């Protein structure tokens, strides 16, 4: 946006493309017109309405999530075994179009929460092929390491518990026995590659960062930590 244009206040919305070429037109007797922005906020999925006030063009209504969205869900793992892969929709599936656009942070958060409600920790991490790493006795994280010129990863390989081939552009994690009880079949062609990881039985919290403002899941020049996982409760005593 050039310096001689009418100032623009996005009011917390994520509307700027990576390489913005924004033009703002504001005449006293006409409504403001803005070009070069996304048609909908990448966070809240709302379409902007522009108003001219005190010499500045504003998006009329503020974004409900000006800092982006951090999504927290829990997963019960009574078996102490996690199946880790990209796609478990043969057993756990929801309507990706039921809420906000899945292209927005809000839409993805809604899908993550809906999947968790039926027993699957799901995370839209792009085509990042991340790994699951141990980060303590009962804590883990999902990340894509940065590789140096000698192909040495920035994260310790001995901490890596599972590699995730993200053909779905996501990871999917569930209690292994729950998945089998609901119809999952080990070795099924629909399943693809998967890993079963032993963990302490209990309830685990997954904190997904991809919806946070400024997080770029496609920035392959940095080490990207998508999700932190920690056991927050043991199994209830019988």
List the beta bridge partners of residue 9.
58
Which comes out higher in pLDDT, residue 52 or 73? 73
List the beta bridge partners of residue 171.
123
Residue 55 has pLDDT above 90, yes or no: no
* Contacts of residue 156, Cβ cutoff 8 Å, sequence gap at least 6: 133
So what's the pLDDT on residue 189?
60
Picking from 138, 114, 159, the residue whose alpha carbon sits closest to that of residue 232 is 138
Q: Residue 181: helix, strand or coil by DSSP?
A: helix
So what's the pLDDT on residue 238?
56
| Calpha distance 178→170 (Å, rounded) | 20
Question: Where on the phi/psi map is residue 24: left (φ > 0), alpha (ψ -120 to 50), or beta?
Answer: beta
Per residue in 172-201, pLDDT tens? Answer: 999 999 999 999 988 776 677 899 999 999
Q: Strand 171-175 vs strand 81-85: parallel, antiparallel, or unpaired?
A: antiparallel
């Amino acid at each position: 946006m050039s310096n001689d244009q009418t100032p623009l206040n996005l009011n917390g919305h994520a509307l700027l493309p990576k390489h913005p070429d924004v033009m703002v037109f504001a005449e006293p007797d006409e409504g403001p017109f803005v070009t070069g922005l996304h048609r909908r906020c990448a966070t809240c999925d709302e379409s902007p309405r522009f108003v001219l006030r005190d010499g500045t063009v504003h998006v009329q209504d503020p974004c409900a999530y000006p800092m982006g969205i951090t999504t927290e869900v829990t997963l019960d793992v009574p078996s102490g075994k996690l199946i880790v892969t990209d796609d478990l929709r043969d057993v756990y599936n929801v309507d990706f179009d039921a809420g906000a656009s899945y292209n927005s942070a809000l839409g993805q958060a809604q899908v993550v929460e809906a999947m968790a409600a039926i027993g699957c920790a799901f995370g839209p991490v792009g085509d990042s092929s991340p790994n699951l790493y141990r980060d303590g006795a009962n804590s883990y994280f999902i990340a894509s390491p940065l590789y140096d010129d000698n192909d040495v990863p920035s994260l310790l390989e001995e901490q890596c518990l599972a590699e995730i081939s993200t053909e779905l552009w996501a990871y999917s994690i569930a209690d292994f026995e729950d998945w089998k009880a609901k119809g999952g079949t080990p070795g099924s062609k629909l399943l693809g590659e998967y890993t079963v990881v032993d963990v302490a039985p209990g309830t685990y919290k997954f904190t997904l960062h991809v919806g946070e403002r400024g997080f770029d899941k496609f920035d392959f020049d940095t080490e990207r930590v998508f999700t932190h996982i920690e056991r927050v409760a043991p199994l209830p005593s019988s």
